[in-house]
């Protein structure tokens, strides 16, 4: 069986993420037969984005998270949210009890 990391190489190619032609790494993984096969190619800029791009992605993630939270609050009643919270807390308590006794989860 091949070690896929041995085949990773840097060259100029079109990035699978941003579709720009620049220097990057082709990533290999073992396929079903155990042979190293190229999976995807990403450029060094997508692999290690500049600070501003990283901040933009984090801000975008937070906006999406807040939007989903507000949408959930607006589309459910307080009783539904309390019932769901109680159900989650009960499940957490059951898991904690199993862990305390050493039982497999």
Q: What are the sequence ranges of the domains in the chain? A: 4-47, 51-101
pTM of the model: 0.42
**CA distances, 22 to each of 3, 48, 69, 93 (Å):** 26, 13, 38, 52
Mean pLDDT of all residues belonging to the chain: 87
User: Strand (E) positions, 16-57?
Assistant: 21-30, 36-43
> pLDDT by residue (tens digit) across 43-65?
888 888 788 888 888 999 999 99
Where is pLDDT greater, at 82 or 45? 82
């Amino acid at each position: 069986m091949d070690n896929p990391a041995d085949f990773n190489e840097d060259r100029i190619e079109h990035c699978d993420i941003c579709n720009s032609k620049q220097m990057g790494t082709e990533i290999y993984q073992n396929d079903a037969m155990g042979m190293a096969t190229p999976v995807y190619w990403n450029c060094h800029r997508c692999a290690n984005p500049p600070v501003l791009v990283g901040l933009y992605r984090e801000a975008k993630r937070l906006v999406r998270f807040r939007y989903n939270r507000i949408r959930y609050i607006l589309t459910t009643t307080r009783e539904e949210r309390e019932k769901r919270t109680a159900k989650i807390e009960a499940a957490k308590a059951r898991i904690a009890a199993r862990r305390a006794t050493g039982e497999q989860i």
